[in-house]
């Protein structure tokens, strides 16, 4: 419950960013650099260019949440479709899809994300694309396993006998029966996705300055940790808190949907 | 058993070929043409053609691929665009440096994970369970690069207990000064395996404990250590699989942590290569780390099959 509350708060702040801050995440005052937390007018202090930390953290939530959530949703759409097709069709289609995924699955996740980002160049879109590539194979696997398990069930057979098209069977019989493990698994990726997206920015492969994004902010404040350790630690703390909340929610979903594996 | 091993090795072959294809394709998917990054800007086309010819870059793609694969299989990873030196040497020494912390981080993470996970499962529902489960969630949720910065700020800067940067003097066996440099990287890197392994150990132990044969053993009045052995044997394959994956992730995942600690591992090598656009180095590092990842998983599969004969399907 707490986790959902905190996540909801972060999401709402991100949406309402212009109303809860002074709305100027890019402008700073060179005379007010690296002010501590609690400074008058700058509740959470200022960064190395004198920009208000509260404003940048709230605006940062926008980019960080998008770059964390979008890859999971895209991977869910692409991976889920491929997995259902592979599991439902079986045979050669299954072999083609699954053996291709095996190759992508064989790359370590962080490495694949970095390589993809290095090819695509920095930016929000390439971060999202790179992480989508990373998450898709595992979602295909989970969906394929779940679909193969129910493929031979009587109710699928019954639907086919009654003349339902493949598309109709997938929509009405397969999807409702495979969604639980797949959704739970995808939700468990959200926390990881936030960390990886921030990590790519931290490496200079994701969002570039002066965009407010937590990983990128953490990187530019890295040297200031000796001057204002608490201010410099704030972006990382936000990544940590968001990731914890997402993981707790995912665990809750797993229990609620009664999913054992996946 | 031998049959199982042969079958798995045959299954791995196409994956290795796929990895080599994708890694090879990296060069050609780069936004900038590889020849452009080798010649000074504004060079005459004749120079470009000459350079392309020397490195075989004017040949058809499949011929380039076979040539590259041939060289890689003979341990020749090409030369760095930046330093002009062979990549192989730099890559292997970076790999050794990475393995040095990866190994101990895995050891610490796995041991703590197994200990805490088993304790949490045995004390299910009590405060120990809540405490350790909180540990695990924190372990998998903490951004390692942020945790690394915090550790440096607190233990290296404020308290001045350990050095903040680098790996200290060279030499083997490790002496105290080298350990001092390794403490913070190991602490950072062991967090994720601790969390992941702890969660799986807890879940697997709970599942094993709820099986009927355990109840039967207890009812028969079996000694605790006998029951423990049964539970361990039933959880081990699952836990091993996760450990293998985690070890593989650690080798390549240290990239973000290398940067903070200035540790001369594969992460630092890869990071420098990316910043300077040194594509052959990126290619070689990605290839080597992925192949190691596949081999580690093959090793884990084999270990699983040894423990649990049911896995030798």
For the residues B200-222, what does the mean pLDDT come to? Answer: 84
Asked if B135 and B234 sit in the same domain, the reply is yes
φ/ψ of B81, rounded to 5, equals -70, -25
Domain with B32, as residue range(s), is: 2-73
Q: In angstroms, what CA-CA distances link B33 with B21, B36, B37? A: 18, 5, 7
For residue A78, the model assigns a pLDDT of 94
Query: What 3-state class would DSSP assign to B84?
Result: coil
State which of B15, B46, B73 marks the end of a domain: B73
B307 prior amide bond cis, ω within 30 = no
In a domain? residue A9: no
Asked if B111 and B238 sit in the same domain, the reply is yes
For residue A262, the model assigns a pLDDT of 44
In a domain? residue A41: no
Asked if B104 and B67 sit in the same domain, the reply is no
**Nearest by CB to A225, which of B138, B149, B251?**
B149
In a domain? residue A56: yes
Q: Does A125 touch chain B (CB under 8 A)?
A: no
- pLDDT at B275 exceeding the cut of 90: no
Q: Does A161 touch chain B (CB under 8 A)?
A: no
For residue A59, the model assigns a pLDDT of 83
In a domain? residue B261: yes
B162, B156 contact by CB (below 8 A) = yes
User: Minimal Cα distance from B290: which residue of A?
Assistant: A107
A144 or B223, which is more confident: A144
For chain B, the domain total comes to: 2
Q: Collect all residues of chain B within an 8 Å Cβ-Cβ radius of residue A192.
A: 140
In a domain? residue B117: yes
In a domain? residue B81: no
Q: Count interface pairs A-B at CB distance under 8 A.
A: 125
- Please identify every stretch of chain A with a pLDDT value under 50, giving residue numbers as ranges: 262
User: Minimal Cα distance from B147: which residue of A?
Assistant: A236
- pLDDT at B105 exceeding the cut of 50: yes
Q: Does B109 touch chain A (CB under 8 A)?
A: no
Are A108 and B249 inside 8 Å of each other by CB?
yes
In a domain? residue A38: no
- Provide, for chain A, the percentages of residues in helix, strand and coil under a 3-state DSSP scheme, each rounded to the nearest 5: 75, 0, 25
Asked if B67 and B108 sit in the same domain, the reply is no
Over the stretch B2-16, which tens digit does the pLDDT of each residue have? 888 888 888 888 888
Asked if B187 and B247 sit in the same domain, the reply is yes
Asked if B297 and B226 sit in the same domain, the reply is yes
Q: In angstroms, what CA-CA distances link A9 with A13, A174, A245, B154? A: 6, 35, 11, 30
Are B251 and A108 inside 8 Å of each other by CB?
yes
In a domain? residue B6: yes
The CATH number that applies at residue A195 is 1.10.3720.10
DSSP code for A27: -
User: Minimal Cα distance from B137: which residue of A?
Assistant: A244
A45, A223 contact by CB (below 8 A) = no
For the residues B83-103, what does the mean pLDDT come to? Answer: 85
State which of B38, B73, B108 marks the end of a domain: B73
When scoring A6, A110, A188 by the number of chain B Cβ atoms within 10 A, the one with the most, hence best to mutate, is: A110
Question: Closest Cα of chain B to A17: distance in Å?
Answer: 24
pLDDT band, residue B28 (cuts 50/70/90): confident
- pTM of the predicted protein model: 0.85
In the structure encoding, which two tokens stand for residue B101, read together?
């912390």
Q: Which of B:202-261 have CB within 8 Å of A?
A: 248-249, 251-253, 255-256, 259-260
Asked if B111 and B151 sit in the same domain, the reply is yes
- pLDDT at B309 exceeding the cut of 90: no
In a domain? residue B80: no
Asked if B97 and B49 sit in the same domain, the reply is no
- pLDDT at B78 exceeding the cut of 60: yes
Asked if B287 and B240 sit in the same domain, the reply is yes
DSSP code for A23: S
Which residues, 6 or more positions from B39, have their beta carbon under 8 angstroms from its beta carbon?
B47, B48, B51
Over the stretch B150-167, which tens digit does the pLDDT of each residue have? 888 888 777 878 777 777
Give the mean pLDDT of chain B: 82
Q: Collect all residues of chain B within an 8 Å Cβ-Cβ radius of residue A102.
A: 15, 18
Over the stretch A186-201, which tens digit does the pLDDT of each residue have? 888 998 899 988 888 8
**Nearest by CB to B256, which of A121, A202, A240?**
A202
In a domain? residue B79: no
B246 prior amide bond cis, ω within 30 = no
When scoring A97, A111, A218, A241 by the number of chain B Cβ atoms within 10 A, the one with the most, hence best to mutate, is: A111
Are B141 and A240 inside 8 Å of each other by CB?
yes
Q: In angstroms, what CA-CA distances link A190 with A146, A185, A247, B141? A: 21, 9, 8, 10
Domain with A165, as residue range(s), is: 46-261
Asked if B173 and B280 sit in the same domain, the reply is yes
In a domain? residue B235: yes
Say how far apart CA A216 and CA B98 lie, in whole Å.
Answer: 25
B301, B7 contact by CB (below 8 A) = no
Question: Closest Cα of chain B to A198: distance in Å?
Answer: 8
Q: In angstroms, what CA-CA distances link B5 with B158, B242, B291, B304, B308? A: 53, 20, 18, 12, 14
In a domain? residue B84: no
In a domain? residue A34: no
Rama region for A123: left / alpha / beta (φ>0; ψ in -120 to 50; rest): left
Asked if B102 and B165 sit in the same domain, the reply is yes
For residue B40, the model assigns a pLDDT of 65
Over the stretch B238-262, which tens digit does the pLDDT of each residue have? 888 888 888 888 887 777 788 888 8
In three state form, how does the secondary structure of B296-312 look?
A: HHHHHHHHHHHHCHHHC
Asked if B163 and B295 sit in the same domain, the reply is yes
Over the stretch A225-260, which tens digit does the pLDDT of each residue have? 777 777 788 888 889 999 999 888 888 888 888 776
For chain A, the domain total comes to: 1
């Amino acid at each position: 419950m707490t986790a959902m509350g905190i996540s909801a708060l972060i999401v709402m702040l991100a949406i309402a960013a212009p109303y809860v801050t002074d709305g100027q995440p890019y402008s700073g005052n060179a005379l007010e650099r690296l002010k501590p937390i609690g400074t008058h007018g700058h509740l959470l202090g200022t960064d190395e260019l004198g920009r208000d930390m509260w404003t940048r953290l709230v605006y940062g939530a926008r980019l960080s949440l998008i770059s964390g959530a979008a890859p999971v949703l895209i991977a869910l759409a692409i991976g889920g479709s491929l997995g259902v097709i592979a599991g439902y069709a079986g045979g050669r289609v299954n072999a083609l899809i699954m053996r291709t995924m095996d190759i992508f699955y064989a790359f370590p996740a962080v490495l694949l994300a970095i390589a993809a980002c290095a090819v695509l160049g920095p930016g929000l879109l390439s971060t999202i694309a790179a992480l989508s590539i990373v998450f898709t194979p595992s979602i295909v696997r989970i969906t394929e396993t779940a679909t193969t398990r129910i493929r031979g069930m009587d109710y699928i057979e019954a639907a086919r006998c009654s003349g339902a098209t493949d598309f109709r069977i997938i929509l009405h019989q397969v999807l409702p029966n495979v969604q639980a493990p797949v959704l739970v698994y995808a939700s468990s990726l959200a926390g990881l996705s936030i960390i990886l997206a921030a990590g790519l920015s931290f490496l200079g492969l994701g969002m570039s300055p002066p965009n407010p994004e937590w990983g990128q902010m953490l990187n530019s404040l890295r040297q200031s940790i000796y001057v204002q350790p608490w201010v410099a630690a704030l972006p990382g703390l936000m990544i940590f808190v968001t990731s914890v909340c997402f993981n707790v929610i995912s665990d809750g979903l797993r229990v609620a949907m009664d999913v054992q594996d996946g | 058993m031998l049959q199982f091993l042969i079958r798995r090795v045959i299954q791995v072959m196409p994956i290795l070929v796929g990895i080599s294809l994708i890694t090879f394709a990296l060069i050609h998917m780069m936004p900038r043409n590889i020849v452009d990054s080798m010649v000074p800007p504004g060079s005459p086309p004749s120079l470009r053609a000459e350079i392309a010819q020397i490195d075989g870059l004017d040949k058809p793609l499949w011929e380039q691929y076979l040539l590259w694969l041939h060289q890689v299989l003979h341990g020749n990873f090409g030369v760095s665009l930046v330093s002009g030196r062979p990549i192989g040497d730099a890559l292997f020494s970076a790999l050794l440096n990475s393995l040095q912390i990866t190994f101990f981080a895995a050891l610490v993470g796995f041991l703590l994970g197994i200990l805490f996970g088993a304790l949490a499962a045995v004390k299910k529902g009590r405060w120990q369970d809540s405490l350790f489960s909180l540990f695990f969630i924190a372990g998998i949720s903490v951004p390692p690069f942020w945790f690394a910065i915090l550790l440096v700020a607190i233990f290296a800067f404020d308290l001045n207990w350990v050095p903040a940067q680098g790996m200290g003097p060279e030499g083997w066996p490790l002496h105290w000064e080298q350990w001092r440099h390794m403490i913070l990287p190991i602490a950072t890197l062991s967090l994720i395996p601790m969390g992941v392994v702890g969660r799986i150990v807890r879940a697997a132990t709970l599942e094993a404990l709820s099986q009927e044969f355990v109840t039967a053993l207890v009812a028969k009045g079996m000694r605790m250590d006998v029951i423990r052995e049964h539970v361990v044997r039933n959880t081990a394959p699952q836990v091993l699989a996760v450990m293998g994956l985690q070890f593989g992730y650690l080798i390549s995942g240290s990239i973000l942590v290398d940067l903070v600690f200035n540790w001369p591992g594969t992460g630092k090598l890869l990071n420098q290569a990316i910043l300077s656009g040194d594509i052959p180095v990126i290619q070689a590092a990605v290839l080597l780390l992925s192949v190691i990842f596949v081999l580690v998983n093959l090793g884990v599969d084999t270990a699983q099959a040894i423990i649990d004969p049911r896995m030798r399907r």
